Amino acid sequence: METSQREDQQRAARRRRKELLEAADRVVLRDGPGASMNAIAAEAGITKPILYRHFGDKSGLYRALAVRHTDALLAGLRAALDAPAADRRERVERTLDTYLAAIESRPQVYRFLMHPGEEPSSSEQGFDTRHSAPLLRRMGEELAQVIAERVVLGDDGDERARIWGHGIVGMMHAAGDWWLRERPAPRAHLVRHLADLLWGQLAEAGDRVGGPGF
């Protein structure tokens, strides 16, 4: 009986946490980097101490939101990499476009995750910017793993895959961040030009036998 009650409590806690994250998402979509704990608590219909009880502090809530959105973005990138493609160039362009489409469709969420210190509310400080770096590192490691699994890179393959993975993510982030702010060209143009930039040794390396290719 005690085990069943404990499981019920855990399920209820997970459900409540999901509801609070969804409320936080709604505030982030509205306020972007200026999203505050007060606004999120009000949206969820609770007091701020209850929100702190679930997430510890602003950083805890930020990390939970970051995992939620990074998981969704990585799933989209994996789907783009795994979908049938005529050649490697098409697969690369589709992956770049998936990332740029994601930040374009939810710019407030992107700014909240990558520029959380901007536009703090008048009543409390914004989220700490130092927490955005782990998101990029995670994306870099994920892409490095994909490259290592799909492309023949020689004796120093693991090292090169990690450098390429983090380098490509850094390029996507920097170029996407600039593009989202200034909109100097259509998204399709940015995708094409970034793919042109990548089209060096990556284009020349062979695919691993038996894999889906890159």
The per-residue pLDDT for range 73-88, each reduced to its tens digit, is 889 988 888 888 778 8
| Residue 33 covered by a domain | no
Q: Angle, nearest 10°, between helix axes 37-44 and 58-82? A: 80
Residue 122 has pLDDT above 60, yes or no: no
Q: How confident is the model at residue 117 (pLDDT cuts 50, 70, 90)?
A: low
> How many separate domains does the chain show?
1
Query: Do the domain assignments include residue 45?
Result: no
Domain CATH for 123? 1.10.357
Whether residue 52 is contained in a domain is answered as no
Q: What is the pLDDT of residue 82?
A: 83
Any domain includes 71:
yes
- 47 in any annotated domain: no
Q: Is residue 210 classed as helix, strand or coil in its secondary structure?
A: coil
Model confidence at 211, pLDDT cuts 50, 70, 90, reads low
Which range is least confidently modeled, 5-9, 14-18, 42-46, 71-75? Answer: 5-9
User: d(Cα 20, Cα 41) in Å, to the nearest integer?
Assistant: 8
Range of 136's domain?
65-204
E strand map for the chain: none
Q: Is 14 within the bounds of a domain?
A: no
**Domain contains 19:** no
Q: Is the pLDDT of residue 129 over 50?
A: no
Question: Which 8-state DSSP code applies to residue 144?
Answer: H
User: What angle in degrees, to the nearest 10, is found between the helix axes of 48-55 and 58-82?
Assistant: 60
Q: State how far the Cα of 81 lies from the Cα of 63, in Å rounded to an integer.
A: 26
Confidence of residue 151 (pLDDT cuts 50, 70, 90): confident
Higher per-residue pLDDT: 141 or 200: 141
Quote the pLDDT of residue 130.
55
Distance set, CA 183 to CA 88, 100, 189, 202 (Å): 27, 12, 11, 28
Inside any domain, residue 51: no
Q: Give pLDDT tens digits for 31-79.
A: 988 888 999 999 999 999 988 888 888 888 888 888 888 888 889 988 8
Q: Tell me how far apart the alpha carbons of residues 103 and 110 are, in angstroms, rounded to a whole number.
A: 6
